[in-house]
Structure 1
């Protein structure tokens, strides 16, 4: 039987940052044909791994081998504003040669530049149209493209090249719902080798297998993300049962060792009394004493060995149970009575021209959707008071808190506890720490400077500062909160918001996340704010 083709092979791979911080050590990876979703916690090294495979980074040691041409869509994509669309697509030289030939110039260089790609313009136009970039002319520059359009244009260039291996790093981060749908179709229709890093659960439904990067190694799961979740849930259920058994075994072995010591101490005491009573000669008393000590040593050793083995099993069981702890908070002071007006937008016109006329009552949960550039962030910033409407009136009779995409609310020079204290100055240190523990900042973690936090930790700290603020927010505004969050952090955010009892407006393109929040009303920003059916 023929061996399966390996298209990406990492052997003994190691990489560390210039300051010596290790990212990967003795890492191995073999990826064959098909679509693979690479997941893992923030900081696990997923993007670094893709950059090593793409050749953007040089490994400290080890090797990376690629079977064929590689195409790479980075997470922090930038385009030259003066570049033409056809140049970004990599077809400018072929187009110019084709036009020259059509004009009667038969120079051999033009035929070499075109090669066999006589339909390059038609293929380019079809690819752009397929990705929703129908208005993009090949001769225009990329200066006016939005972030999402830039991602799609770069993807179009890769699709035109048809590389043997395609790497995508968080490709949906800047895409609106319509653009995401087109990218999902492109991924579903990809027949080569695809390795995609993503926290987008809907995108991960289109892969053939999941590679879970954790603690410097990859664990493989067949099927899409839903299959992965089912398998992982079963694994964790088994691991937690084994953990409970191991904890019980350790307690039993500790009890057996303690009881054995008590028996041995009693036996030794009895032996001494008997030797004195019988007045045994010293040589005989010494012999009995040595025998008793040897027996006691064997018994202690046996029980100690059993206890150590039980502890080893407990350690192994603990390692098998994932430490993606859950946030469990109850925020009764954020509650809003049903029917109470929380927000009123009366014939409001925003700075970019969009209009909004809506009222929000009680603990409603609003999903704010719409294409990129439609004004969702502008609306949230206007409600939060950061921007002034061109006309109309905004009424917010409750405390409003706003979480922007930038996550720049924290003071990097303060600790996590110190940042929360900024938003709740009247709270005691003990109260702040007790509340932070529910956001997984326990003990010394609450004393970490904000500037040293990972992406997921920073988000949790920001969320804690907002939700624990004094006065508590009864209207919470979130702008694309799941961007750049790993799957565990998205789950923790959903859990935290389950304990929030106020009104909520969330601008997001992440449909699985929005559906998990229990949204009560969907509004689309498209020139004006209108109800929409997300189905």
Structure 2
């Protein structure tokens, strides 16, 4: 560890994508020892901040200073499948040198490679064991492990390197329940500076503080996610009270201004009448009329100023009330009669060797659960017709749509509008843009190149494209749909799926989410076979 307290300081950061889309502008941010949860709506720049700290990206303006070594776990992790596990862990050279020395080769280069790390293998195995990877041998190929296991392997490599600053971007994506608990333990026990971007409520319960990116700035909250939500709720209640007070004051000022105009008009009529009747000398009448006009003008100006001040107070109060944009997921009306056969998979052997028999009737709502590597994605791709089973057959009887975990439906080189137009060639440009607007891609944002989107934005764009494609799906299959979404978007997706009237198959590890969308059947791939499981045991 660095002898100084590890710290990260970001000063006046600015960053835009190559197409000119701004992400960060003049942002000041610093992280000290302990665990910080960095949260915010999709597209506010959370992942960009981590990449700037890790040195993956360079700021256009501003600086990033880090005291200590940095370890970074990206959201879109990819590992070379040809690597051995010890190579992925970064210990292959030291391990090979250690084995050579044990075999009697005392060349100096081996001692240099080992350095002081004589227990490198023991530490590696202990770290793998802590993360639930004791079964993964150091000589195995990365291509033999699942996507979730590869995330934990990357985390194990970071922990073995003993960084002073650890950056984790959505680390629980694709992890099963057991793996999530292992990662939670690793986060809770990390001794240095840890910055965590996540929508995982259980993970955010472990942080010491919350930093929220919002409206181009950062606001700090002490405590974990629960404390943050309580603080924001109290802030919003106070802000809404201030709006009500300001609205009442504005109405009063408008009323008083109207009353003042009425009084002034009455006085003016009286003065004009007195002047016309010439009850007093003309010079006196002129002076009195001028004085009355000046007084009336000052009175009117005073009330108008008060009205403008009341309007400003209302605007300031309204600015304190959050108006966070949320996606509006409007799924097509695709009711399936109860009992109608939607899909059948008969005595099939999947590409990964698992066996499955499945009959889906409308409107079944099926959760597909299981450990990483069990074959959930393989099963979904087989049901969607993307993979042929080794044996058996798949029959679909209704229009279906499949939203894959890797979100590779869209072409990175095309804009969102162009991508959706490819999937829905009959749709007008106006209809496409209206659909994208419901997913917060308005105006020029709809013309943004897909390759520049954040993970959450890419999900929104993919979901918009899938929902607009015709005909509307009566069977919807989703693979880990909550990955990469902020908490507001997860809530919107949950509400939309709860209202969806077609058949639904969702693969995922977010058990609370699955309960909330009204799952009626729970299926798991256990020991290579698809069977009913008890959700209570998950």
Smaller-chain TM-score bracket: 0.7 to 0.9
Q: Which residue number in structure 1 is paired with residue 276 of structure 2?
A: 276
- CA positional deviation for 1:194: 0.9
* Contact 1:202 1:512 survives alignment (8 Å): no
- CA positional deviation for 1:406: 4.8
Cα distance change, pair 201–166 in 1 and its aligned pair in 2 (3 A): same
Q: Quick check: 1:199 aligned with 2:199? A: yes
- CA positional deviation for 1:479: 1.8
Cα distance change, pair 203–233 in 1 and its aligned pair in 2 (3 A): same
Q: Which residue number in structure 1 is paired with residue 182 of structure 2?
A: 182
Partners of 2:134 and 2:61 lie apart in 1 by 45
1:182-214 superposed Cα distances (whole Å, 9 cap, x missing partner): 222211222222111112223222222221111
Cα distance change, pair 161–365 in 1 and its aligned pair in 2 (3 A): same
Q: Which residue number in structure 2 is paired with residue 384 of structure 1?
A: 384
Cα distance change, pair 259–100 in 1 and its aligned pair in 2 (3 A): same
- CA positional deviation for 1:119: 1.2
Query: Which 10-residue stretch deviates more, 471-480 or 328-337?
Result: 328-337
For 1:145-224, list aligned pairs within 5 A.
Answer: 145-224=145-224
Q: Which residue number in structure 1 is paired with residue 531 of structure 2?
A: 530
Cα distance change, pair 510–32 in 1 and its aligned pair in 2 (3 A): same
Q: Which residue number in structure 1 is paired with residue 226 of structure 2?
A: 226
1:201-228 superposed Cα distances (whole Å, 9 cap, x missing partner): 2322222222111122222222322332
Q: Which residue number in structure 2 is paired with residue 133 of structure 1?
A: 133
1:248-302 superposed Cα distances (whole Å, 9 cap, x missing partner): 4334433433443343334334432332233766644443343233323322332
Cα distance change, pair 448–290 in 1 and its aligned pair in 2 (3 A): farther
SS of 1:334's equivalent in the other structure is: coil
1:428-476 superposed Cα distances (whole Å, 9 cap, x missing partner): 979x999887x4669x659944757955556445545655776543322
SS of 2:302's equivalent in the other structure is: helix
Q: Which residue number in structure 2 is paired with residue 117 of structure 1?
A: 117
Q: Which residue number in structure 1 is paired with residue 256 of structure 2?
A: 256
Q: CA RMSD in A?
A: 3.7
Cα distance change, pair 296–124 in 1 and its aligned pair in 2 (3 A): same
TM-score by length of 2: 0.84
Following TM superposition, the consecutive aligned residue runs of length 4 or more in structure 1 with deviations greater than 6 angstroms are 328-332, 427-430, 432-437
* Contact 1:424 1:469 survives alignment (8 Å): no
SS of 1:10's equivalent in the other structure is: strand
Q: Which residue number in structure 2 is paired with residue 293 of structure 1?
A: 293
Cα distance change, pair 249–27 in 1 and its aligned pair in 2 (3 A): same
What number of residue pairs does the alignment pair up? 528
Unaligned ranges ≥5, structure 2 = none
Partners of 1:367 and 1:423 lie apart in 2 by 32
Partners of 1:391 and 1:93 lie apart in 2 by 44
Cα distance change, pair 343–87 in 1 and its aligned pair in 2 (3 A): closer
Partners of 2:421 and 2:282 lie apart in 1 by 74
1:139-159 superposed Cα distances (whole Å, 9 cap, x missing partner): 445454443333222211111
TM-score by length of 1: 0.85
Partners of 1:91 and 1:417 lie apart in 2 by 43
Unaligned ranges ≥5, structure 1 = none
Partners of 2:330 and 2:170 lie apart in 1 by 32
Partners of 1:182 and 1:241 lie apart in 2 by 44
